[in-house]
Structure 1
Amino acid sequence: MSRKADRIDRLAELTAARAEDGRGHGVWREAFDRTRRNPMAIAGAGTVCVFLFFAIFGPWLAPYSPTAQTWGNEVFPNQNVFVGPRAENWLGLDNLGRDQFSRMIIGARQTLLVGVVATLLGFTVGALLGGTAGAAHALGGVWGRRLDAALMRVTDMMLAVPALLLAVSVAALLGQSLATVMIAVGVAQIPIFARLLRGAMIAQAGRDYVLAARALGVRKRRIALGHILPNSLGPVLVQGTLTLATAIIDAAALSYLGLGNPDPSTPEWGTMLADAQRFLSGAPQLAVYPALAIIVTALGFTLLGEAMRESLDPRLRK
């Protein structure tokens, strides 16, 4: 009971302070204030910042070249002889005598590049489809409803195929390359963004401010693009953060299946994990390091995305 009373008192003080300032705060400002007080958001943001730091400054932080086989004479994979962590090699050496710590740092950039580009591709195309369908539904009319139905049937066909299977199919058609991984993972995310934005726009179309705009004679196109669409982007942006974590995992899965970068010397966490499977008995750490990096990074983006979702959803506000 006392905790509830304390929360009420703090809310009253905050309301009074805002009243004295003579100005309120927008939805995004309030969402940011709630997010930065959320321990889950702090943990996720901290993990993401560490990942971004190594991905951006990796070439300057890596002590050695990630492709140089400097200690190749100390490693004998056929005889199950590997070198573990030591002073000059913090994470040991891989099967070719390359510094594992340097490869992990440089691999962060490749993983970030794949995840960001794939997410941006899925977000752009999905938002275009979902925004067009949502605007057509909001504008009404026979042609608007038909366009909405046609676009959503295409989206439903994409949703009928599991995301990873769809990504594998696209990657198999386009061939083995890093760009193929980006396109394949991005295509698999398109229907998620399309459906989410369309649903948000349809929900916004029934709000009071839309009815007021129509009563004032504002043109339907301006209502859809100038009012409904901007107010529907919040859930889509949050989904983008969550999708980034999924994109990193899917990209690692495609690299693990041999559909990623054909150059094995280029460090990428998924490729490193795939290469390490042959040496699990002698050097399990070669698989543990990239696997932990993928898991922790995906967890960071997931925690941050969930915290943002709670902050923007009025039903989940604390």
Structure 2
Amino acid sequence: MSLDTKAAKIDRLAELTAKQETSTGASLWVEAYRRLRTSKMALIGAVVIGLFVVLAVVGPWVAPHDPTQMWRGEVFRNRGIFVGPRDGNWFGLDQLGRDEFSRMLVGARQTLMVGVVATLLGLTVGAILGGLSGAALTLGGNTGRKVDTVIMRVIDMMLAMPSLLLAVSIAAVLGQSLTTVMIAVGVVQIPIFARLLRGAMLAQGGADYVLAAKALGVRKRRIVFSQILPNSLSPVIVQATLCLATAIIEAAALSYLGLGNPNPATPEWGVMLAESQAFFDDAPMLAVYPAVGIIITALGFTLLGEAMREALDPKLRS
């Protein structure tokens, strides 16, 4: 048998192995989807997230009033008199006479954008670092171990600092803006995704299909990027849904500390919560509305993320 024929057979066997693993991966996701459809926790989380996304998309068009419009002829400051819920203003008016219900609807888009962009930033950079580290360690060699050591020491330094303190430090350095909040929250999440993907790749490195591919003579680089990496992404995707909830809460915390959007006219739930603290004694509902919105939204992402984790966990599948 010639060398070219032998190499062609090895490539063909490797291709069949990859196809079989892809089919198995698809079956895993199909099974997870079936489990999610019967999970009350997943359904509740999906409904909450769906409503939140719908409000974020259509909020500016269905808001009954301009969120920056100030109602004249009303007394708000200095006398502790606030207009509560009434006909035309379902949630009442805030300290500047703006319709609270309209600001809640429009602010949902800003809150969603902050959470999604921050999570995507952390997921992208973390996956790149974790993938490089896991691939370098899986491929072996002195160079691979050095690359893994350098990346992991940087990740360890980021983990050594409390997440909120790190986010506040980054926001303070970059300046007060909504973009700063997204960057700060995204950077905090980088170590989570990096370590998770690296650990998943190392765990997949000892799987049977990897040993079979090595026995067939498939190159390590091809095994890592065509088989190990794709099969290591499921826990990272699940973690992304959980981090969305954390991102929304941390963004609200930064806004509460005065590091969010410097323009108070632009409604965002975290900024609205921060502004309402000065008037909590006279109008506590101004703080309750955005706080409840943040809590319910974070709960929805958490429920869906936990349900996905259980659906994809092989120890929990019957």
Query: 3-state SS of the aligned residue for 2:78?
Result: helix
SS in 2 for 1:282: coil
- After TM superposition, the structure 1 = structure 2 runs for residues 228-307 of structure 1, keeping only pairs within 5 Å, are 228-307=228-307
Alignment of 1:217-232 (within 5 A): 217-232=217-232
Residue of structure 2 equivalent to 1:141: 141
Give distance in 2, aligned partners of 1:262 and 1:239. 31
Letter in 1 for 2:33: F
Displaced runs of 4+ in structure 1, greater than 6 A? none
AA aligned opposite 1:204 = Q
Q: Is the 8 A contact 2:134 2:202 kept in 1?
A: yes
Whether the 8 Å contact between 1:72 and 1:98 is mirrored in structure 2 is no
Cα deviation, residue 153, structure 1: 0.7
Q: Structure 1 residue 25: deviation in Å? A: 6.5
CA distance in 2, matches of 1:58, 1:253: 23
- Counterpart of 2:183? 183
CA distance in 2, matches of 1:170, 1:120: 18
Letter in 1 for 2:310: E
- Structure 2 gap ranges (5+): 1-23
Deviations 1:220-257 (A, max 9, x none): 11100100000000000000000000000000000000
- CA shift, 1:24, in A, is 11
- 1:59 aligned residue: 60
Q: Deviations over 1:178-200 (max 9, x none)?
A: 10000000000000000000000
* Alpha-carbon distance in 2 for matches of 1:161, 1:73: 50
| Alignment correspondent of 2:3 | none
1:106 maps to what in 2? 106
Partner of residue 165, structure 2:
165
> Match for residue 3 of structure 1?
none
SS at match of 1:295: helix
Equivalent residues in 2 for 1:183-222, closer than 5 Å: 183-222=183-222
Q: Is the 8 Å Cα contact of residues 131 and 194 (structure 1) preserved in structure 2? A: yes
Q: Which residue matches 1:85?
A: 85
2:41 corresponds to 1:40 = yes
Letter in 2 for 1:240: A
Cross-structure match for 1:10: none
**Which amino acid in structure 1 is aligned with residue 275 of structure 2?**
D
Instruction: Output the amino acid matched with 2:37.
Output: R
* Corresponding residue pairs, total: 295
Partner of 1:29: 30
Partner residue, 2:21: none
Letter in 2 for 1:57: V
- Cα distance in 1 for partners of 2:26, 2:221 equals 28
Cα deviation 1:33-85 (Å, max 9, x = unaligned): 1011100000000000000000011111101110011x242132210000111
Deviation at 1:140, TM superposition (A): 1.0
Cα 1:191/1:25, change in 2 over 3 Å? closer
Asked whether the 8 Å contact 2:25–2:231 carries over to 1, the reply is: no
3-state SS, counterpart of residue 232 of structure 2: helix
Paired letter, 2:174: L
Name the counterpart of 1:154. Answer: 154
Q: What TM-score comes out, normalization by structure 1 length?
A: 0.91
d(CA) in 1 for partners of 2:312, 2:264? 42
Q: Give the root-mean-square deviation of aligned CA atoms.
A: 1.2
**What amino acid does structure 1 have at the position aligned with 2:43?**
I
CA contact (8 A) 2:42 2:307 kept: yes
